[in-house]
Amino acid sequence: MKKLLSTVGIASVVLSLGVSAPAQAGSPTTPATVATAATTSAAAASAFSMRRQFAREVVRYGQSDRGVYHIAHVRELQYRLRWAGVFSVGVTGNFGDITRAAVKRYQRREGLTPSGVANHVTWAHLLRDTVRHRSAVPEVCRRDGWHACYDRSMHQVVLLRNGNLVNTWLVRGGASSTPTRRGTHAVYYRDRDHVSGMFGSPMPYSQFFDGGEALHGSRNMTDPFYGHSHGCVNMYVEDARQLWRLTNGKRLMVTVYGAWD
């Protein structure tokens, strides 16, 4: 699989995600150099933010998506490892030996340290590698400004700023009787602690873009590929918060496209 991060891109991601690049073979190492590198690495690591490009929480052995209030992004990791071609068993939401081995295979292929931990740098590679149907993203999404674009067929939202991909999340949309409507609209109302007046269910980090349809965190979704909403775009609560922190206070355009799934 062709790597989507060039050497320069890898360096940029490494720097932006607060991880020191490995020293080149044969380069001189002195106590001062080591001390400086350690200080720089610590400072960079402390500066990591979920606002970074392709940021996701660290996922490691023993974690699991135990329920809607305990999502560790293990299912997402397994789906993306499958799409990357290194994970061929069922998606369970439990990070065990098979998942750790798959993470190591992917890390080796990408030239990363095969730790078996899905750290920030690993996620940066994996998310960029597994944006599906990239060529199908509408041209409107590539215009200046902030754009959240939802592909109904892929259960995928991509966030772009001025045509540059910022992040991507797995989501679910409306059922066949209440499909999320296609089109492009600006977010017109936001409510961090919204509760549905019709269904009485919490809709944290709601960003409304078309009538009653909103991007929001869901307290009912554990797997984005199972079940549907009543028309809104359901996200994991942590992901909806991440999108909120990136775009709250900004003009956000939302485009819904693709066949219903």
**For residue 225, which of 86, 79, 127, 82 has the smallest C-alpha distance?**
79
Do residues 209 and 254 touch, judged by C-beta distance below 8 A?
yes
Q: Are residues 63 and 144 in the same domain?
A: no
Q: Are residues 99 and 155 in the same domain?
A: no
Instruction: Please tell me the distance from the alpha carbon of residue 117 to that of residue 107, in angstroms, as a whole number.
Output: 9
Judged by DSSP in three states, 194 sits in strand
Q: Decide which of 115, 130, 145 is a domain's last residue.
A: 130
Q: Are residues 151 and 226 in the same domain?
A: yes
Q: Which domain holds residue 159?
A: 134-257
Domain of residue 80, CATH code:
1.10.101.10
Cα distances from 113 to residues 52, 107, 121, 122, 252, in angstroms, run 21, 6, 10, 9, 37
Domain of residue 237, CATH code:
2.40.440.10
Q: Are residues 82 and 168 in the same domain?
A: no
Q: Decide which of 93, 114, 130 is a domain's last residue.
A: 130
Whether 204 is in a domain gets the answer yes
Number of compact structural domains in the chain? 2
**For residue 84, which of 45, 52, 53, 112 has the smallest C-alpha distance?**
112
Residue 102: phi and psi, rounded to 5, are -65, -40
CA angle 153, 76, 250 (to 5 degrees): 70
Per-residue model confidence as pLDDT tens for the chain (261 residues): 434 443 334 333 333 333 333 333 333 333 333 333 333 334 444 577 899 999 999 999 999 999 888 999 999 999 999 999 999 999 999 999 999 999 999 999 999 999 999 999 999 999 999 999 999 999 999 999 999 999 999 999 999 999 999 999 999 999 999 999 999 999 999 999 999 887 778 999 999 999 999 999 998 999 999 999 999 999 999 999 999 999 999 999 999 999 999
> What pLDDT shows up at residue 14?
34
> What pLDDT shows up at residue 199?
76
Instruction: Please tell me the distance from the alpha carbon of residue 128 to that of residue 3, in angstroms, as a whole number.
Output: 9
> What pLDDT shows up at residue 198?
77
pTM: 0.82
Q: Are residues 108 and 211 in the same domain?
A: no
Q: Decide which of 130, 157, 179 is a domain's last residue.
A: 130
Whether 118 is in a domain gets the answer yes
Q: Are residues 120 and 140 in the same domain?
A: no
- Map tokens 């996701």 to a residue: 56
